[in-house]
Structure 1
Amino acid sequence: MSAAAGTSKAPKADGHLACAGEAAGAIAGGPVPDVVALLDGAAGRFGERPGVTDHAGSWTWRRLQAASRRVAGALLALGVAPGDRVLVVLPPGRQFAAVLFGAMRVGAAVVPAGSSASPFELSWVLTDAQPRVLVSDRAELTALAERVGARAITPVALLDGPVAEPVAVLADGTALLLYTSGSTGRPKGIVCPHRAVAFATGAIFRRLAYRPDDVVFTRLPLSFDYGLYQIFLCALAGAELVLPQGAASSRELVALRAAGATVVPVVPTYAAMLARLAARDRRPLPVRLFTNTGAALVGQDVKRLRGAFPGAAVVCMYGMSECKRITIADPDEDLAHPATVGRALPGTRLWVVDPSGTPLPPGESGEIVVAGPHVMAGYWRAEEQSARRFRPAPDGDGPAVFTGDHGCLDAEGRLYFAGRADDLFKRRGWRMGTQELELAMLDIPGVRAAAAVPPAPDGTLTVWAVTDLAPERVLRGLFERLGAARTPDRCVVVADLPRTAHGKVDRAALPRPEEAAR
């Protein structure tokens, strides 16, 4: 049964918001421009308003547009052509935004990577994406880029480029190549056309209704689409995007006040931190809206956040990078309908289906399937995996994303997410896979075999290793390769891994930590 889009609780529009709403309407319902049009539209409508702010300063939307044109000119001089890939390994900030739009301005696809991504993580992306250019301040990445024939360059050098002549950007051209973990253990590049990204931005905007006077404060990595799309949403609204560098600290509320933050995207760990800090510091903040996706904000976490920020609404959302966003709840809708993640985006269709792909009636649990203009164009150079995930829609109208997630719909079209149906899982806002962990462990010298399973019901993430190394050394190696958020809680060292008759690791027979040989 298809879910109808719900009606959002939008604030009363002023003149600027009306302009932004018209732009969103055009993106969601009319001719769909390329993503660069979001920036050019912001420069035209909100040119002198603050656009992107980082630790070193702020650019207006018009200045960001000018910077992106210089980046485009420099990339053209380097021989970057439509269809090429540009890998960006930069911290969140104005330079990232200029390179993002500058590369798309010449028809290249941007491949965003975490600013602190390890050489282990980047080596596969470089090999798979085959970028023409790698943009980074990290000198140690130059040799890595040269191995695949990529040119390494700093953002400062790009910003010194000549102003580019206009280049026609195709709506069906690739805007982004977003790498996300998958069941193969290797990150997969999701091919994101301009048309789909622009549609998703407009549809999300119509639900969230960012305002021109909003200040959106986010510590989300820009390699994570939840963080990346904040740039597009702010451009559409004419809002200011604040991108602080580094990790959140005990002075986070000071940073929020200094920025004048009104909208804060959160994952559960960050929301819990803000709630703890606000319990000790009762001075009011201007935050009016918290949004949540990536990992569900539920139970005591969302209760404490509301208690600490009584003047702010919470919006629960659900999605996956293969189509960006699937559902968005009305502000605080989960209070009346606990655990809902809202209704389908405007202009999209949503089903819950049985194993045969037949839509189920309200109240019955099955796989979540979504279709619409926001469905991306499959996985980069992975036809078999694309065919499994992107299949004909249940109503026969174009492709749909078969999410692999389970949930159910109610009679009004609200979705209730139940969990994953495979070895992919969400942890601390990251989408991960067990084979991703196993491959990273096998990259650690001294690890001979490895196994991983999704987190236990209490959230504990355990991995098993056949090695002479101490468990702490294996975890440290994973930290170096994957970062703190994706490092497991516990490593069990074993003499061997149990196997099935076919020689595969029998994960159901893995020893419990207290039973394992050391």
Structure 2
Amino acid sequence: MRDPAGAWSYARLADLSRAAARGLADHGVGRGSRILVQVPSRKEVLPLLFGASRLGAALIPLDPELTDFQLRSIFSDAEPALAVGDSGLLRAAKDHAVPLCEFDAVLGGDPDSPAADPVAAPAEGEAADLALLIYTSGSTAAPKAVMCPHSAVVSAARAIHAVLGYRHDDVVFCRLPLAFDYALYQVFLAALGRAELVLTGGGPDLVLARRMRECGATVVPIVPSLGSMLAILGKRAPGSVSTVRMFTNTGAALPAALIDELRDHYPGSRVVRMYGITECKRVTIMPPDEERERPQSVGPPLPGTTVRIVDPDGRPLPPGEVGEITVAGPNVMAGYRNAPELTAAAYRRDPQTGDTYLHTGDYGSLDEDGYLYFDGRRDDIFKRRGTRMSTTEIEAAATDIPGVLGAAVLPPDGGRDLTLFVEGEVEPLDVLREMAVRVDPAKVPAVCRVLASIPLTPNGKHSRKHLARLLEEGAG
């Protein structure tokens, strides 16, 4: 495990995790406790993650950029026994009478100092204990917490690893923030493969290619914005990073043109398409050796996972028909904390089989061989001029236009018509003309705006709230 401050072996990490378990216990953390951690992207987080696991306590990773409102909401809902972080947590911790400490206080000193004798650790937790609480805003204002038991986290990690196959000679280059569960799972996948994990920390994007080359990166998890940056860097010096064997993607679909650019500029690499949500972590993965087959598919279900496409009444649909994606299997998480109505709406028992299926609210179809085709998320599907469409297909068409580096769509809402935002050196009217060539007339946006960059959420998804504000400010 490596970050800009240095490296630890797995043996050192194991010792530090025992020290973290003892330090957490000394701060009153026990089985069933919840620990808020304002997560920087550095390796000190990892002993805390595994130390909490030893105790049967749940770690709650928090983005350092959360607002005071979001922090207060999470403190109230989580009722944590301890908060670990810097002064950014101080006000919320004091307001809720929650003890606050820094990383070194939990680890018993400087973790990069010479290793001391192993610390006796408290008893380990059990499979049914919560390992993680992942707060996600979804479509509501207040964050909600997905409850992730050890058993489901382990099942998800092992199933993902069975398909992706991280190896002992891999170097997993993780630019994504550890508060994002996609990045957090890179820790588990690297451990399963005994690979080296490189946490890049901060620093400018322009040096990423050099850092990938220096560390010999072989596996690179990306979201579209990071993929676009790496494509630009690769284009400037084609083939300069020759070690990457696999890019993996989640958060939002990668445009086909971006996939081609990554393959071209990083020779020998494969771009793995996947579909998942926090409530199930990963649902399908296109196997790396099939990445050029069925280019519109996001792959078959993970081992042990069942995917059904259902109609609005919950009845299974045949191959080729679009409906809601539902999932059953050991990697499905345990519902939402303190939200029984939300949990009951999303987790529904099948009266025929008795199995519980997670209703994702996302839409797609299966082919005859069981490969999933993602059609859009709940908020992506809308009708305009009597035609059903999704933001996903419109964004994909826009990114096919030469000069467009990224695209985001706001569906019609109230007095606002279908609006397209793009980034790149293009003219709005040229984009709209090109869109008219690529999509049906009802799907051509009424308005196109060119931005220097498309605003993103901490998880790398398009921030539609920010885009809507930009429109409002423009109208004002």
Same structural fold, with TM-score higher than 0.5 when normalized by the shorter chain? yes
Cα separation, 1, equivalents of 2:94 and 2:417: 38
- Structure 1: runs of 5 or more not aligned: 1-51, 429-450, 462-477, 495-512
Q: Confirm or deny that 1:182 pairs with 2:130.
A: no
Structure-2 change in CA distance of 1:184 and 1:424 (3 Å): farther
Deviation at 1:329, TM superposition (A): 0.3
Cα separation, 2, equivalents of 1:312 and 1:274: 13
Q: Confirm or deny that 1:146 pairs with 2:94.
A: yes
Q: Confirm or deny that 1:228 pairs with 2:184.
A: yes
Deviation at 1:411, TM superposition (A): 0.5
Match of 1:491 in 2: 469
> Which amino acid in structure 1 is aligned with residue 379 of structure 2?
D
Deviation at 1:118, TM superposition (A): 3.1
Q: Confirm or deny that 1:206 pairs with 2:162.
A: yes
> Which amino acid in structure 2 is aligned with residue 133 of structure 1?
L
| Cα deviations by residue, 1:342-380 (Å, 9 ceiling, x for unpaired) | 000001111111111111111011000010011111000
Partner of 1:343, secondary structure, is: coil
Match of 1:351 in 2: 308
Instruction: Please say if residues 310 and 324 of structure 2, whose CA atoms lie closer than 8 Å, have aligned partners that are also in contact.
Output: yes
Segment drifting more, 52-61 vs 392-401: 392-401
Structure 1 stretches of 4+ moved >4 Å: 423-428, 451-457, 478-485
What RMSD in Å do the two structures reach over aligned CA positions?
3.0
Match of 1:26 in 2: none
Structure-2 change in CA distance of 1:110 and 1:480 (3 Å): closer
TM-score by length of 1: 0.73
1:386 to 343, 364, 367: 343
Structure-2 change in CA distance of 1:313 and 1:457 (3 Å): farther
Q: Confirm or deny that 1:402 pairs with 2:351.
A: no
Deviation at 1:298, TM superposition (A): 2.3
Deviation at 1:191, TM superposition (A): 0.4
Deviation at 1:215, TM superposition (A): 0.4
Structure-2 change in CA distance of 1:348 and 1:453 (3 Å): farther
Cα separation, 2, equivalents of 1:197 and 1:267: 21
Deviation at 1:80, TM superposition (A): 0.8
Cα separation, 2, equivalents of 1:267 and 1:75: 33
Structure-2 change in CA distance of 1:185 and 1:332 (3 Å): farther
| Cα deviations by residue, 1:131-150 (Å, 9 ceiling, x for unpaired) | 111111x2242232121121
Partner of 1:116, secondary structure, is: coil
Match of 1:6 in 2: none
| Cα deviations by residue, 1:174-208 (Å, 9 ceiling, x for unpaired) | 00000011233211100000000000000000000
Structure-2 change in CA distance of 1:313 and 1:493 (3 Å): closer
Deviation at 1:251, TM superposition (A): 1.3
> Which amino acid in structure 1 is aligned with residue 75 of structure 2?
L
1:157 to 95, 102, 105: 105
Q: Confirm or deny that 1:342 pairs with 2:313.
A: no
> Which amino acid in structure 2 is aligned with residue 72 of structure 1?
A
Structure-2 change in CA distance of 1:394 and 1:330 (3 Å): farther
Cα separation, 1, equivalents of 2:214 and 2:263: 21
2:66 to 95, 117, 132: 117
Segment drifting more, 319-328 vs 395-404: 395-404
Deviation at 1:416, TM superposition (A): 0.4
Within 5 Å, which residues of 2 pair with 1:79-158? 79-136=28-85, 138-158=86-106
Instruction: Please say if residues 85 and 133 of structure 1, whose CA atoms lie closer than 8 Å, have aligned partners that are also in contact.
Output: yes
Within 5 Å, which residues of 2 pair with 1:165-314? 165-246=121-202, 248-282=204-238, 283-314=240-271
Match of 1:458 in 2: 420
Deviation at 1:223, TM superposition (A): 1.6
Deviation at 1:284, TM superposition (A): 3.8
> Which amino acid in structure 2 is aligned with residue 419 of structure 1?
G
Deviation at 1:301, TM superposition (A): 1.3
Partner of 2:28, secondary structure, is: coil
Structure-2 change in CA distance of 1:339 and 1:208 (3 Å): same
Cα separation, 1, equivalents of 2:460 and 2:71: 13
> Which amino acid in structure 2 is aligned with residue 65 of structure 1?
A
Structure-2 change in CA distance of 1:373 and 1:154 (3 Å): same
Cα separation, 2, equivalents of 1:427 and 1:97: 37
> Which amino acid in structure 1 is aligned with residue 469 of structure 2?
C
- Structure 2: runs of 5 or more not aligned: 110-117, 383-389, 393-412, 424-454
